[in-house]
Structure 1
Amino acid sequence: MNQFKRSTGLIPPTIITIGIFCSKANHFCSCSSSLQPITEDSSGLNLNPLYNLLPNTKNPSQLVNLISSTLLNPNNRNADNIISLQEHKQNHSQLFDHLGVNEISRILLRCQSNSHAALSFFNWVKSYLCLTPNAQNYCVLIHILVWHKNFKEAMHLLSELISLNQDSSFIVFKSLLMSTDNDDCNWDPVVFDMLIKAYLKKDKVKEGFKAFRKMIKLGFSPSIIAVNYLLNGLCKMNYGDKCWEVFDEMGNTGVHPNPCTFNILTHVLCKEGNVDKVNEFLEKMEEEGFEPDIVTYNMLVDSYCKRGRLKDGIHLYKIMYIRGLIPDLITHTSLINGLCKGGNVKEAHKLFHGMVDRGIKPDHVLYNTLICGYCKEGLMREARLLLHDMIGNGISPDNFTCSKLVEGYSRQQRMLSAVNLIVELQRFKITVPSEIYDHLVTGLCKENKPFAAKSLLDRIPQGCYQISEELYEKLICSFSECNDADQALHLKNEMISKNEKPGLVIYRAIISCLCRLRRLSEAESVMKEMIHSGLLPDSEICRSFITAHCKEQNFDAAKASVCIFASEFRIFDSASYNSLIEILSEEGDMAKLVSLQEEMMKIGYKPTRLTWKHMFSGLSRATGLQQNDAMVR
């Protein structure tokens, strides 16, 4: 029995029959699915003798014979046979009404000798007749295709069958298994290997693992390729415990691992971080006759470096040379990354030069790793030289490269150097991501360098970048703070020309700037435009106007503005009110001061502590002036 198992990958037929019989007794049909599994009663492959009592126009057996003979006509191509089927459908529509899932399976079995005819018929049923084949139909055709080595189409149908049974994974396995119970159906055990792969290709790792367990339970011996496929899927999903279950089952069923198996399991151990267990496993691997290859060492070096065990990683690096394995680009990338993260970027660069001297060409990942290390250490000159080396070797910097260099300059508050870098990349015709421009413009505006930001934007090729509303706001506010009202107004008008609506922040910044520059008529014009667009002024805008009028010593205009903002916009800004009180207080005219306060209180203003302070100050000045007048007299 063991000899049969090793040669065929299956247990003896008698045991298979018992397994199938037990499977049928477990009521698998009770689970819901879009496709029904094969059952003893629903297979319909045995001819019903009562069919012979039916007239030919209603006899399903006549329909099976008609379609089968048409499909297997040696004088026609498959395309011609499909045309003939369509003609039969038109001429014998009443007979074709009796085509069901059982008849579909019988026709497919009749076409086992011609897999192309079977597949054409199956597709014709789905597309032309708009019938939905059941699981039995799918599985019969899958077995036919696998038997004829048409693995691509078989895998496609397996994936389709899995999609139709999303909520009931075991139905697919059971339907495939029950199809093998039919003596008329040719089948190959490799179909169950394909089922595992199909599940994993659709990211259904758990279902693939369940299918593997069912194969083992029924005595099937999966191929090492299918097992490795499953192990890799389980490893990616961090199902380490399931990987070792599969490995144990391999030993129980006589499936011999290969170097790929050991590398996958080594990767599992590295992800788990159990270094001692890794060493034990490698010893076992060597006992099995497998020598660790470059993939094994690369995984170990990478694992050591990621866990900060650089000495162990470098030791393995040296061991590779002793064992005749030349470290490749992946090995060096792992070590250089570990050294950079450990703050030893200069040692990493030495390793980089040694790698290049040995004829290994660095890629963009390795360049990025080293550039990132230099930027992290603040060595921007070295990072920039490495960038030039990268471009000189024909490797174009990507978004990551640009971002790390700009971030490095930003941490040192060297925004202009970052701008010069981007201008340099533009000269090399290297595409700079929009996020970099956003970052630079924002940073320059924070440093009150809007002219540099605008110059950078003007260098961008037309159509390659769109200034966002948020960025317009930052630019306009920055220009306004620098008292460049003309640039701020130009950008505001540019926004409007693009059908973008400036917000209150933009209008407030421009109005405040114009007021500081004593360009009050323009400020009033901008405020009218703002109100017309549906925005109302706030206290800050009110204060800007009052402050400007007061600086021009235009008390009447200031007072009128305070009254207008209060009556029309219900803005009662205490600072503006107190500015008027302060002016009269300094003049020492108590009659005007009291009159203003009464007038303001009628409008709705309420005195504050600062108001009373100015009032007392004015009273003191008035008293002092009266005493001086008396002394003069």
Structure 2
Amino acid sequence: MIRRPSIYVPTLSQSMFFSSSSSLIALHDSHSKSTLSPFYNLLPPTQNPNNIVNLISSILKHKSSNLSLLHSSNNDIKGILPHMGPHEISRILLRCQSDHSSVLTFFNWVKNDLNITPTLHNYCVIVHILAWSRVFSHAMNLLSELIQLVEVEGVCVPPNDGIYENLVECTEDCNWNPAIFDMLIKAYVKAGMVEKGLATFRRNIEACFIPNVIACNCLLSGLSRFNYIGQCWAVYEEMGRLGIHRNAYTFNIMTHVLCKDGDTDKVTRFLDKMEEEGFEPDLVTYNTLVNSYCKKRRLEDAFYLYKIMYIRGVMPNLITHTVLMNGLCEEGKVKEAHQLFHQMVHRGIDPDVVSYNTLVSGYCREGKMQMCRSLLHEMIGNGICPDSVTCRLIVEGFARDGKLLSALNTVVELKRFRIKIPEDLYDYLIVALCIEGRPFAARSFLLRISQDGYMPKINTYNKLVESLCKFNNVEEALILKSEMVKRSMILNLVAYRAVISCLCRVNRTLEAEGLLEEMVSSGILPDVEISRALINGYCEENKVDKAVSLLKFFANEFQVYDTESYNAVVKVFCDVGNVAELLELQDKLLKVGYVSNRLTCKYVIHGLQKAMEQDDEMLGHDMLEV
């Protein structure tokens, strides 16, 4: 058995003599299968498993279409393909490392056509080859793919080994470029694994692979995005210690970090430091600071920087003005924001939908909806299409002011200009009309907009059904329910309760009981109000037997014990003076779990009096006959 040599990890001093274009070194046998039988050499070359590396390498070295050659040769070598393992894959990659296109062709053929998942070592070999060939985009894609497999899916992970260790180990076997270790930092950040990116940054420094400024900036940006403020400053200081030349992008990232840190007073000192290192704050720097001051409601400081920008020859742009306008609007200074808007336009900066939305939002807060409408017309006149934010701000603004008709007219107006209305805004208006007690207007509006392909959300349907039932328009509610069934929607508990209660109020209790069965089969359990509506409905229709049956049903099946429903049944018996049957029923219901109250006793006393009166009448009638 061949003894595996120890792993060689170059230090900084050693790496000076270890060329990135080093000659090929013999591959470790740790990834190899067991030694194949020498009798295989008696077979024809295309059937000899020992020959698989030579055969495929030979095919790949043809300058014509390598992939088509692999496919066409598949019948010749398919018998030995099962013998191709991770070791053979790496050997083939190394044989062809001078031609990156052949390497990629083979690697993709293994993954996609043979459905073999390459190992961590296979991936590391190919990314080294691609980085050495300066095909950085492909190398980056494969690094990202490897991170997904190893860090997320847990595939290709040997015990106590990782991507970094394998990348270092593979430098012994193939041509390599130190840039791959910078790319690993960026790949981790791109995958959202900034902690891994930071760990790689530190390991690179320990191994004397000094990261370049682009990798450092990528790491700083990722750390900032995930609010690792302390680590940002640690990396920034480490860059200075290592002599990594920081650029304007570095300083802009750190300016943003300063603003997130909440200590804007440090900004002046940091800007001075930028200038000491030869970097003038640019437009991005100033916009970052202006935005930070506005968010902290330090408008004086924000406008001071705005003036400094002109003094230093950095012209404020649309973003600068929009941020300042938003800051003014947040302080309730919408008039001043509008003045700044006009000032921006006079200086030749064309507004966009965001700057208009900023003003519209400010005027909406003050309830100045006519001004919002004027701005809407101005936008359209200037060829700026209102977006979903514009539509929502104006429509909801009118609705908040109790001007739903104006909100609906605005929607009609926007549709006339062929402006797309967000569907959730339609839902908002339908629900708002229902809450205002105008379900018929909501239903009419729904019919009109449905012609454009709009489909209400299930909650909107339920709210409209509930609102229609409050006005006893049960027929329209049932039509809506049928529409919902066609669209595989079901009523919620509130809507079922509304329809059942409405049917009971209009003496259609039997239909209501059918809906009860439907909702139970849909997995929705009835509540006390549904029990009360059905039992009261049957009592109103003098179907006391049905009412009694439901009392028992709700108690036994759903543990719903409603004393009000119980008293409604008691009252029916007492009104007709049928006390004997009532007392018998009462014993049964008490055993089920119903409890009498003061009103029950009052009804029973009333029933006894009624029964006595009936007995007296009967007695008097009998005496007259005698």
TM-score range, shorter chain: 0.7 to 0.9
Asked if 1:161 corresponds to 2:146, the answer is yes
**What corresponds to 1:589 in structure 2?**
none
Query: Match of 1:156, as an amino acid?
Result: N
CA distance in 1, matches of 2:387, 2:319: 19
Identity %: 44
**What corresponds to 2:617 in structure 1?**
none
**What corresponds to 1:173 in structure 2?**
164
**What corresponds to 1:566 in structure 2?**
548
**What corresponds to 1:151 in structure 2?**
136
Displacement after TM superposition at 1:346 (Å): 1.7
**What corresponds to 2:499 in structure 1?**
507
Displacement after TM superposition at 1:256 (Å): 0.5
**What corresponds to 1:220 in structure 2?**
209
CA distance in 2, matches of 1:68, 1:491: 69
**What corresponds to 2:385 in structure 1?**
396
Residue 432 of structure 1 aligns to a residue whose secondary structure is: coil
CA distance in 1, matches of 2:41, 2:233: 62
Displacement after TM superposition at 1:41 (Å): 6.4
**What corresponds to 2:227 in structure 1?**
238
**What corresponds to 2:354 in structure 1?**
365
Task: Pick which of 138-147 and 283-292 moved more.
Answer: 138-147
**CA displacement, residues 392-449 of structure 1 (integer Å, 9 cap, x when unaligned):** 3333333333333333233323333322222322333333233222222222222221
In 1, are the aligned partners of 2:364 and 2:393 still within 8 Å (CA)?
Answer: yes
In 2, are the aligned partners of 1:224 and 1:257 still within 8 Å (CA)?
Answer: yes
Query: Match of 1:284, as an amino acid?
Result: K
In 2, are the aligned partners of 1:56 and 1:62 still within 8 Å (CA)?
Answer: no
Relative distance call for 1:508 and 1:99 in structure 2 (3 A) is: closer
Structure 1 unaligned runs (5+)?
Answer: 1-9, 18-37, 515-519, 548-557, 585-591, 623-633
**What corresponds to 1:24 in structure 2?**
none
In 1, are the aligned partners of 2:430 and 2:460 still within 8 Å (CA)?
Answer: yes
Displacement after TM superposition at 1:98 (Å): 5.8
**CA displacement, residues 353-403 of structure 1 (integer Å, 9 cap, x when unaligned):** 222222222222222222222222222222222222223333333333333
Asked if 1:309 corresponds to 2:281, the answer is no
Displacement after TM superposition at 1:472 (Å): 4.0
Displacement after TM superposition at 1:538 (Å): 3.4
**CA displacement, residues 478-511 of structure 1 (integer Å, 9 cap, x when unaligned):** 3444455664565456556767666642333433
Relative distance call for 1:112 and 1:427 in structure 2 (3 A) is: same
Relative distance call for 1:597 and 1:388 in structure 2 (3 A) is: farther
Displacement after TM superposition at 1:268 (Å): 0.7
Displacement after TM superposition at 1:218 (Å): 1.9
Q: How many residues align?
A: 553
In 2, are the aligned partners of 1:197 and 1:208 still within 8 Å (CA)?
Answer: yes
Q: Which of 414, 420, 426 is the aligned partner of 1:437?
A: 426
Matches within 5 A, 1:568-583: 572-574=565-567
CA distance in 2, matches of 1:56, 1:378: 93
Structure 2 unaligned runs (5+)?
Answer: 1-10, 19-25, 521-525, 553-561, 590-595, 614-626
Relative distance call for 1:418 and 1:139 in structure 2 (3 A) is: same
Q: Which of 151, 176, 188 is the aligned partner of 2:177?
A: 188
CA distance in 1, matches of 2:537, 2:109: 79
Residue 245 of structure 1 aligns to a residue whose secondary structure is: helix
In 2, are the aligned partners of 1:67 and 1:85 still within 8 Å (CA)?
Answer: no
CA distance in 1, matches of 2:29, 2:482: 80
Relative distance call for 1:89 and 1:334 in structure 2 (3 A) is: same
CA distance in 2, matches of 1:252, 1:531: 76
CA distance in 1, matches of 2:513, 2:229: 69
**What corresponds to 1:116 in structure 2?**
101
Displacement after TM superposition at 1:110 (Å): 3.0
**What corresponds to 1:20 in structure 2?**
none
Asked if 1:417 corresponds to 2:406, the answer is yes
**What corresponds to 1:200 in structure 2?**
189
Asked if 1:253 corresponds to 2:242, the answer is yes
Query: Match of 2:99, as an amino acid?
Result: N
Residue 538 of structure 1 aligns to a residue whose secondary structure is: helix
Query: Match of 2:74, as an amino acid?
Result: Q
Residue 221 of structure 1 aligns to a residue whose secondary structure is: coil
Relative distance call for 1:490 and 1:242 in structure 2 (3 A) is: closer
Displacement after TM superposition at 1:458 (Å): 2.1
In 2, are the aligned partners of 1:143 and 1:191 still within 8 Å (CA)?
Answer: yes
CA distance in 1, matches of 2:297, 2:457: 43
In 1, are the aligned partners of 2:573 and 2:582 still within 8 Å (CA)?
Answer: no
**CA displacement, residues 123-156 of structure 1 (integer Å, 9 cap, x when unaligned):** 3344455555444433333222222221222222
**CA displacement, residues 541-587 of structure 1 (integer Å, 9 cap, x when unaligned):** 5546767xxxxxxxxxx6x3456533665594535765997xx8xxx
**What corresponds to 1:271 in structure 2?**
260
Query: Match of 1:141, as an amino acid?
Result: I
In 1, are the aligned partners of 2:547 and 2:569 still within 8 Å (CA)?
Answer: no
In 2, are the aligned partners of 1:578 and 1:611 still within 8 Å (CA)?
Answer: no
Relative distance call for 1:449 and 1:250 in structure 2 (3 A) is: same
**What corresponds to 2:3 in structure 1?**
none
Displacement after TM superposition at 1:327 (Å): 0.9
